[in-house]
Amino acid sequence: MKTLIVGTGALGGIIGARLLAGGASVSLATRNATSAEETEASGLRVTGLGGDLSIEAGKVDPLAEYSVPGTFDLIVLATKAPRLAPVRANADLWASYVGPP
């Protein structure tokens, strides 16, 4: 299953790290190129319940870079509420990213 996680903060980072640690195919989307570079360079770190985990982030790109229909089986929206407006405005486009092209 190919998963895209939109937002690499606390929630997106935890979900992404745990899925990656389990061997899942995960791509991460950030709000801009700077955030993508920082996340890719530092990786994902989780501490707390379930034990501590530090893992390479894998594929990280700005949200605008993801534009191929049928690329993902699951998209997880893990952004803060103010950041949802651009995603919500393009809901039809996002729907095309899931499943067969």
> What's the pLDDT tens digit per position in 17-28?
999 999 999 999
* pLDDT 10s digits, 33-60: 999 999 999 999 999 878 899 999 988 9
Which CATH number goes with the domain that contains 64? 3.40.50.720
Helix (H) / strand (E) containing 68: none
Instruction: Indicate the DSSP class of residue 2.
Output: E
- The Cα angle at residue 36 between residues 58 and 95, in degrees rounded to 5: 80
- pLDDT category at 90 given cuts 50, 70, 90 is low
Burial (CB < 10 A; 0-12, 13-18, 19+), residue 63, is: buried
Q: Which residue range is the domain that position 31 belongs to?
A: 2-97
For the segment 63-69, the average pLDDT, to the nearest whole number, is: 79
Q: Going by DSSP bridges, is the β-strand pair 44-46/25-30 parallel, antiparallel, or unpaired?
A: unpaired
User: What pLDDT is attached to residue 50?
Assistant: 80
Q: Count the domains in the chain.
A: 1
